[in-house]
A and B are shown apart, each in its own frame.
Chain A
Amino acid sequence: MAEEKYETHEYDVIVIGAGGAGLRAAVEASAQGVKTALVCKSLLGKAHTVMAEGGIAAAMGNVYPEDNWKVHFRDTMRGGKLLNNWRMAQIHAQESPDRVLELEEWGALFDRTKDGLILQRDFGGHRYARLAHVGDRTGLEMIRTLQQHAVHKGIDVYMECNVQRLLTDAGRIAGAFGYWRESGKFILFKCKAVVLATGGGGKAWKVTSNSWEYTGDGVTLAADVGADLMDMEFMQFHPTGMVWPPSVRGILVTEGVRGDGGTLKNTKGERFMFNYIPEFFKAETAETEKEADAWYEDKKNRRTPDLLPRDEVARAINSEVKAGRGTEHGGVFLDIASRRPADYIQRRLPSMYHQFKELADVDITKDAMEVGPTCHYAMGGVRVDADTTAATVPGLFAAGEVAAGLHGANRLGGNSLSDLLVFGQRAGLYAAEYCKSLKGSLTVNNDQVNAFAREMLAPFESKGNENPYTIHADLQECMQDLVGIIRVESELKKALEIIQQLKQRTRNLKIEGNRQYNPGWHLALDLHSLLGFSEAATLAAIERKESRGGHTRDDYPNTDAKFAKVNVVVRKKNGQFALSQEPLPDMPDELKALLEEKK
């Protein structure tokens, strides 16, 4: 192959991914005075954050003055089944109010309380109404505000540019290598630090709320340079995705529907969530419909079980459908029509109204929605230092969904947008500090770059006949059926075998057309990260022989005290994933005391 002259740029910090975490990181790094670029797979403003609906969890106390970071910390830890990194949960709860107010300084317009402050809404697992929101399009407000702020700060943005490999020099980050989607030409970034803000890998599942971008890039980029991954067994299946018609299956229905009064019902009309209240949440959950309904107005009542953490609700729906009390399309009903006035529904949930009307011919102010679980969020990802977001490879940082730790075994709704802001800011700050303190110079190994370029072009030269879309569909089938909500060892092992076969098949890809804006080639390259993400998730799922949060084992249906004390860590050695169980960091007694408070 003829050597290609690569377009090359030099920066201090490269931020990969332009959702909430990436934008916030780039804004911060740039403000710290280091040369920063933002690199993203789609156009600016289209990242997955734009789809977030419900809101940003932050204990501002605008609706319930008794709310504060300690309650938020406790809710987050309990929602995560205590497997969370306590320090991340503490930082997150303490800093999220400031990060929300900062968005307001940059032009965001949240819905207001009667006193003119930021209104906060109820969500699953949160003791108080805590989510700053804009109707049900909070993510759009957040991404647009950050995007416009970043643009006005003059940050360089490389749009539709896909980073495929990281480069290291003596174990430290030295650069990133990828391609322009438009031209297919390669691009080399020489840099001191990389912030991964690439989101998760939910596109490895068939029924998913995730877009094409969610191919596990950050996890694979990090693992390929030897960084630790953690908690990969925990995938969140959001309880309410659309189920009908088939073409929309998986599209998200915001938890805000339940936060604003909607309730889950089976085909017998029963509010079945009352039958699925686990011991762990019994003390804080309403036992009667009357108490549950009164909770919306008065928090002296206990919370409705409709708003148990997502893992509990998703499993309950799964069980109802299995027991034959689901709809003909394999879902249950989510009813707000009979519980709230039409104008309230339209005002609070405009995009849900629009989505069901346009895509399913359902008027949610008149009829119940049909919903079921959809793959939504990876709790696990790159293992990071709680304060600095530093990964285990020097110069590598990770924030947002791609990072592990904050959410433990299960994320609470609303804690993602706040995660993006809090740890995005920290990633930008500490990546900048790292650059400033870095001694000596970094060199990019040209032979390595050339080798990466050859790997990326290999699909064009293969003699095989495999269609990348078919391999992707086969992977989605495998993960959906064998590494889904309910798992069992034999199926997980079968999934591993299939993943190995799929890897083999990627050597025989056939790519139609040329390098210019070629989605077939792009998917062929993304298969590398999709398969890496899937393999790590499956291996970790085999290792954790218990049920906890977003990891439910049919063969180990209970929690196990032994596994309550460890994270499963996955790292690559000589090209193979290796597993270990590593103890959770010790929590200070004053924080432990917060967890033990009843209700």
Chain B
Amino acid sequence: MAEQQVHMRLWRGDAKGGEFRDYRIAVGEGMVVLDVVHAIQAQQANDLAVRWNCKAGKCGSCSAEVNGKPRLMCMTRMNTFQPGETITISPMRAFPIIRDLVTDVSFNFQKAKEIPAFKPKPKEADGTRRMFQEDIDRVQEFHKCIECFLCQNVCHVIRDHDDNKPAFAGPRFFVRLASLEMHPLDSNDRMELIKQKAGLGYCNITKCCTEVCPEHIHITDNAIIPLKERVVDRYYDPVARLLGLFSTKNK
């Protein structure tokens, strides 16, 4: 790909309001959207606000909506667009704007605080903790989460419904909850939280979160649905409820 000019439209503004502004800039071989945003920042708009860190899809900082699609800017190659196509970048919509492409994602850090901590079982008699790879594979999938919050951004429960936020943890934290619930060493019980405060019942498994996950975590199938099944088993299954009278923990 020879160097060529592209037409970018970036949202500029703050909480009070803003607009899309047009930029034309040269693009070199192999560039990703974040490179182009950086070039605009260095050459044309020094104060353009954007978050980034690793530029390799590992930190989850540069989330935005590229032509309406929630993406990591660092993992979106420029050669995936048609020649001459205008590329529009806007900040994530589910979170309040701070400035330009930077949003206030503190909602997520608040939700993280509300999840009861990992609480390990006692060690084995020889002082070790033995776990087998096949028993942790599914949890390791959840640990791949880079907290880009794109799943939170597309979740229709909160995307256009700020009022649902207090009662809904969102896909990122269902993944976190699933990782704790399925951790072979954990002994904490979070089922009440999952059912009530985290609002798992709001999710009607449209899989939008799974589609946008840059780590390809099967959020719906492997985290949310099994959690829903556990809630059903605990609270709504008549046999389990009967048995539940005789056991203290259902895990």
Contact = CB atoms under 8 A, between A and B. Distances in A.
Contacts of B53: 42, 46-48, 50-51, 211-213
Nearest to B31: A247
B105 interface: yes
Q: Which of A109, A140, A358, A473 has the most CB of B within 10 A?
A: A109
Contact of A360 (B14, B30, B59, B147): B30
A182 B98 contact: yes
A440 interface: no
Interface in A207-228: 211-213
Given A43-B61, A517-B49, A152 B117 contact: yes
A513 B42 contact: no
B208 interface: no
B105 A43 contact: yes
Contacts of B143: 109, 134, 140-141, 144
Interface in B1-37: 14, 28-32, 35
Interface stretch (A283-291, A297-305, A518-526): A518-526
Contacts of B30: 244-248, 359-360
A103 to B, nearest CB: 11
Contacts of A517: 49, 98-100, 102
A114 to B, nearest CB: 8
Interface string A418-453: 000000000000000000000000000000000000
B232 interface: no
A520 B130 contact: no
Interface residues of B, number: 59
Interface string B109-128: 10011000110100000001
A354 B59 CA distance: 14
Interface stretch (B133-141, B158-166, B237-245): B133-141
B54 A50 contact: yes
Given A112-B136, A213-B53, A246-B29, A518 B47 contact: yes
Nearest to B42: A469
A116 B46 contact: no
A167 interface: no
Given A107-B183, A211-B53, A519 B47 contact: yes
A151 B109 CA distance: 9
A8 interface: no
B144 A137 contact: yes
A111 B131 CA distance: 9
A39 to B, nearest CB: 15
B100 A520 contact: no
Interface of B: 14, 28-32, 35, 41-43, 45-61, 75, 77, 98-100, 102, 104-105, 109, 112-113, 117-118, 120, 128-133, 136, 139-140, 143-147, 180, 183, 185-186
Interface of A: 42-48, 50-51, 101, 104-107, 109, 111-112, 115-117, 134-135, 137, 139-141, 144, 148-149, 151-152, 159, 182, 211-213, 244-248, 251-252, 351, 354-355, 358-360, 467-470, 473, 511-514, 516-521
